[in-house]
Amino acid sequence: MKHHRDRALLSFWLSSGVRAEELLGLRHGDYDFGEHTFIVTSKGTRNRDTVPASADAFVWLALYMREGQPASPGDPVWWTLAPKNRRPLTYGAARRMFTRAQHALGSNWTLHDLRHTAAERMIADPAFTLVDVQTVLRHAHVTTTTIYTQPRMEDVLQKVLEHYARPRPPAPTIEPEYDGAATRELLGLGE
């Protein structure tokens, strides 16, 4: 990412899990630097919901805002970079910006993949419950959030390797204070 705007956008998408269009609709006055929250209009309900984001996202936002973008209350936060032809950033323009970055990296993520990445990172953190993640993502039903609970294959493979690397537990024995012959007869183990 070559610009503070793009770094801020990426950081918000990765830390908050908001949809691309929701973040692009952000207006001045809809964020709180002290609380690290911002307000989005949710896709399905059209409710205005408060969403948390990382401190880094707000640092990048502050750096972007210092570059002199229009900042009157109610104005869009995200603008194109060309000073002569400045206009609010559209989804298509944000997607092209992200595609250029993907091309430079040799990857092919989509903007929506960033939402999935944010959700998977939250699910992997033991400090988050499934309901916490549902709340941040603003899913109507927790069953929608459970799609992110699928284990990653590399994690499963690591656990399998660790399982086979552990020493075998010792075989169970009959405690010395028991009569071995009586215990074997009781358990039907024979002589």
Q: How many residues does the chain have?
A: 191
SS3 breakdown of the chain: % helix, strand, coil, rounded to 5? 50, 10, 40
Dist CA 13 CA 37 (whole Å): 13
> Would residue 160 count as lying in a domain?
no
What pLDDT score does 175 carry? 67
Least-confidence region, from 44-48, 95-99, 185-189:
185-189
Binned at pLDDT 50, 70 and 90, residue 9 comes out as very high
Asked if residue 167 is part of any domain, the answer here is no
Asked if pLDDT for residue 174 goes beyond 70, the answer is no
Residue 102 lies in a domain: yes
* Predicted local confidence at residue 190, as pLDDT: 67
Which of these, 102, 35, 26, lies nearest to 69 by C-alpha position?
26
Q: How far is CA 53 from the centre of its chain?
A: 10
Does some domain include residue 20?
yes
Asked if residue 63 is part of any domain, the answer here is yes
Q: What is the CATH number of the domain that holds 103?
A: 1.10.443.10
Phi, psi of 39 (to 5 degrees): -110, 130
Report the percent of the chain where pLDDT is more than 90.
66
For the stretch 52-63, pLDDT in tens is 999 999 999 999
> What is the CA angle 11-17-21, rounded to 5?
90
Residue with token string 């091309």: 103
Q: Is residue 188 part of a domain?
A: no
pTM of this prediction? 0.77
| Domain assignment present for 26 | yes
Domain containing 113 equals 4-127
**37 pLDDT above the threshold of 90:** yes
In a domain, 65, yes or no: yes
If you compute the radius of gyration of the chain from its CA atoms, what whole number of angstroms results? 26
Question: And the tokens for 6?
Answer: 């793009």
The mean pLDDT value of the chain amounts to: 90
Average pLDDT over residues 145-149: 90
How many domains does one find in the chain? 1
Rounded to 5°, the CA angle 183-188-191 comes to 75
Confidence band for 176, pLDDT divided at 50, 70 and 90 = low
Question: Please, is 27 exposed, middle or buried when counting C-beta atoms within 10 Å of its C-beta (0-12, 13-18, 19+)?
Answer: middle
